[in-house]
Amino acid sequence: MTADHTADHTADAPGARTAVVTGAASPRGIGRATALLLASQGWNIGILDIDAVGGKALAEEIAANHNVTAYAVTADVSNEAQVRTAIDELEAALPPLAALANIAGVSSPVPYLELTSDEWHRVINTNLNGVHYVTRRVAESMVRHNYGRIVSISSTSAQRGGGTYSKTPYSVAKAGVIGLTRALARELGPFGITVNAIAPGPINTDIMGGPLTPETRADLIDTLLVNRVGETHDVASAIAYLLSNQSTYITGQTLNVDGGLYMH
């Protein structure tokens, strides 16, 4: 069965639909910036995070400041059963799940020769299997509506073979996200679903072991073509564009939001 490509889905305001954002609870993270930007654009927001308190607080903040519905569920993205239960709950509580931003992730600065199997599996299970588990369940819902927008966060680490805070399993998982994105763009396109990835360079969050010091910031800027480290809104605005109806002819792509790191 294929989608009706002539259907005018663009007639629907985002307010009639929901964007699911994973990894949104972190107070200085890309997920939070994305959830707030999407809410300001009229999307209802479904938050899925391992941090129950932070997720609930963000849902309350969104509901208080934007004229949309926000609902938070708690799940470890690396646990498929938890993910399915959580998305079931979001689906029951919110308007149709039309967009998905896969943002939850962990870093891994461990050098390869010191890597344990537990660390390998922790990172692959969260950063790659987690994206698959969430996407698989949300895609089941999107297919029923013949409409969907999926964006997953990869990294320049996938393209450059890691970095200081993102060594082997991180690079492998983020490269897997690009492969998953291309394969799903091929398979889900006939159902009116676009699937893209974003590869951020260094972004000013706490994932690199806490706030940047002046020294680490300067070292990062030396690797870029622009004279600043990225901020969460740089990634959030790219995600919002790929989830919007401004980008309906873009699928299977990886957009670098990296200040020129990859080509530097």
Residues within the interface to ligand NAP (CB under 6 A): 23, 25-26, 29-31, 49-51, 76-78, 103-106, 126, 130, 153, 155, 200, 202-203, 205-207
Pick the closer one to ligand NAP by CB: 192 or 256: 256
- Largest Cα separation within the chain, whole Å, is 55
Which of residues 34 and 141 has its CB atom nearest to ligand NAP in the complex?
Answer: 34
Beta bridge partners of 166: 108, 163
- Closest distance between ligand NAP and the C-beta of residue 79, in Å? 8
Nearest residue to ligand NAP by CB is 105
Q: What is the closest distance, in whole angstroms, from the C-beta atom of residue 188 to ligand NAP in the complex?
A: 21
CA dihedral 243, 247, 253, 257 (to 10 degrees): -70
Task: Provide, rounded to whole angstroms, the least separation between the CB of residue 247 and ligand NAP.
Answer: 20
Burial 78-109 (b: 16+ CB within 10 A, else e): bbbebbbebbebbbeebbbbbbbbbbbbbbbe
Annotated catalytic residue, options 71, 133, 147, 170:
170
Q: Is 170 a catalytic residue?
A: yes
Q: Which is closer to ligand NAP, CB of 14 or CB of 29?
A: 29
CB atoms near residue 220 (< 10 Å): 22
CA distance 189 to 117: 36
CB of residue 154 to ligand NAP, shortest distance in Å: 7
Tokens of 97: 């799940």
- Residue number with CB closer to ligand NAP (44 or 156): 156
Active-site residue numbers?
Answer: 170
